[in-house]
Amino acid sequence: MQSTNSSLITDPNEKTLPQITAPSDMTVEATGILTPVSIGQATATDAVKVVSITNNAPSKFPLGTTMITWTAMNAGGNTAKAAQKITIVDTTAPTITAPPNVTVQATSADHNTVDLGLPSTYDAVGVESVTNDAPPYFPLGQTVVTWKAIDPSGNVATTTQTVTVQDTTKPTIKAPADMIVNATGTLTPVNVGQATTTDNIGIASLTNNSPQQGFPLGTTIVTWTAVDAGGNMANSTQKITVVNHMSPKLTPPANVTFEAVSVTSNTVPLGNATATDIEPVTITNNAPSVFQLGKTTVLWTAKDTSGNTANATQIVNVVDTTAPKLTPPANVTFEATSLDNNTVPLGNATATDIEPVTITNNASKTFPLGKTTILWTAKDTSGNTANATQTVLVHDTTAPKLTPPANVTFEATSLDNNTVPLGTPTVTDIEQVTVTNDAPKVFPVGMTTVIWTAKDTSGNTANATQTVLVHDTTAPKLTPPANVTFEAVSVTSNTVPLRQCNSYRY
């Protein structure tokens, strides 16, 4: 309490109250649970005299609002009051220092117990609570723990502490047993098995570097790697050996059919065999340098680097499908000596071939008049045949032998209508002959030449002549006209119609 005393009451008759003004209200930051405050001084006036100014302020103020009453008294003992508000506030956050960061060795992947220690805190008013967000168990790795201090006014201060749970112990690993496998191709898939591992916090990954497409021939070292949750790594190796016991796959060239150019010395292109294998392959065959007529079996052999072999055969068939080259004798034209019994020399056909050839023909022993086609056939040992034809023409170009009838002398019975018997000619020929003449049906008086023509079936002709003489050796029979009597018209020049004298001969 503050007071100002001037003196005792000296004027009991004074009835007027003094005037008092309190200091201004104040808001002060707390400096402790109780905070000393310089509250200032009230002022008072009076008509006579202010003898005292007092207040009821505590020596230190608690948090919150405290009302101070100021009292002024004058010489007459009259008092006046005024109020002053003192507010103590706490807006300052506590200070907090986290425990030191902690690093511990992991005993589990996520169930590690860690002693964090205690933070140090301070607040002018006091710390009401200290908390943290630490989990009951810590996982592997870093965990940030946040510590929080709160004072009675609710001011909060935070700080962090890093907890590192680390794993520096390598896992243990044992690779699967070494393996020897048979190759199935250039690259062979192999089930390499599974490595076994142990670790105190658990294995994060287990890998190996085995080739994904398969293992080549030979030995491959597979490295197994175990990595635990702390990133610690351990390796172990496994040996995979791939061996080849598989024969090559051999495809011989296609069977060959070759047209022979010789009976025993044919050069035949065989083509190429192909082989597939996981290793290089050498291909050979037992083919002769030249082939004879007929079938030959060629043995092809494929051998890989590991000594595995495969065999396949190819048939080389040297065939003769070429017909002989046949040249028939020249065509023959023969003068017939008979209608159907002509012996004609044909000549000889010739043939060339790589094999012996037999030549035959279908000719008859004798030939008739006309054209005959002879079929010549050449046949070699392989049965190939060639045909050619020869034409034999037996023709008749000899004219018939014609003898006409004897010449005829005929006594005329008419000037131009004499029927004269001519007689019959004689004719000889190997063919049938038609005989004609150009004689008229009736003959006139005089000499007429008759041409006789003999024509055989082949059109050969022969001519001969016969003369027919129609003559008149008989005297005419004459009948004169009747006697005439004529009247003269002149002594010497009378024209007398005598009429016609009739004469008859035939």
Burial class (CB in 10 A: 0-12, 13-18, 19+), 185: middle
Report d(CA 286, CA 273) in Å as an integer: 13
Domains of the chain: 3-89 (2.60.40.10), 95-166 (2.60.40.10), 172-243 (2.60.40.10), 249-318 (2.60.40.10), 325-395 (2.60.40.10), 403-421+429-506 (2.60.40)
Predicted local distance difference test score (pLDDT) of residue 505: 54
Predicted local distance difference test score (pLDDT) of residue 200: 82
Average pLDDT, the chain: 93
Q: How confident is the model at residue 2 (pLDDT cuts 50, 70, 90)?
A: very low
Q: What pLDDT, in 10s, does the model give residues 204-263?
A: 999 999 999 999 999 999 999 999 878 899 999 999 999 998 899 999 999 999 999 999
The mean-pLDDT minimum among 127-136, 194-203, 258-267, 484-493 falls in 484-493
Instruction: Indicate the residue type of 484.
Output: V
Report d(CA 479, CA 501) in Å as an integer: 6
Instruction: Indicate the residue type of 454.
Output: A
**CB contact at 8 A, 116 and 102:** yes
Burial class (CB in 10 A: 0-12, 13-18, 19+), 359: middle
Residue 499 scores a pLDDT above 90: no
Closest alpha carbon to 243 in 307, 195, 299: 307
118-143 in b/e form (b: 16+ CB < 10 A) is: ebebebebebeebebebeeebbbeeb
Predicted local distance difference test score (pLDDT) of residue 483: 87
Predicted local distance difference test score (pLDDT) of residue 3: 44
Stretch 181-198: mean pLDDT? 93
Helix (H) or strand (E) run with residue 449 in it: strand 446-456
Pull the structure tokens for residue 299. Answer: 């043995």
Instruction: Name the percent of the chain lying above pLDDT 90.
Output: 83
Report d(CA 208, CA 215) in Å as an integer: 13
Predicted local distance difference test score (pLDDT) of residue 484: 83
Residue 202 scores a pLDDT above 60: yes
Q: What pLDDT, in 10s, does the model give residues 365-404?
A: 999 999 999 999 999 999 999 999 999 999 999 999 999 9
Q: How confident is the model at residue 298 (pLDDT cuts 50, 70, 90)?
A: very high
Q: What pLDDT, in 10s, does the model give residues 439-471?
A: 999 999 999 999 999 999 999 999 999 999 999
Predicted local distance difference test score (pLDDT) of residue 140: 86
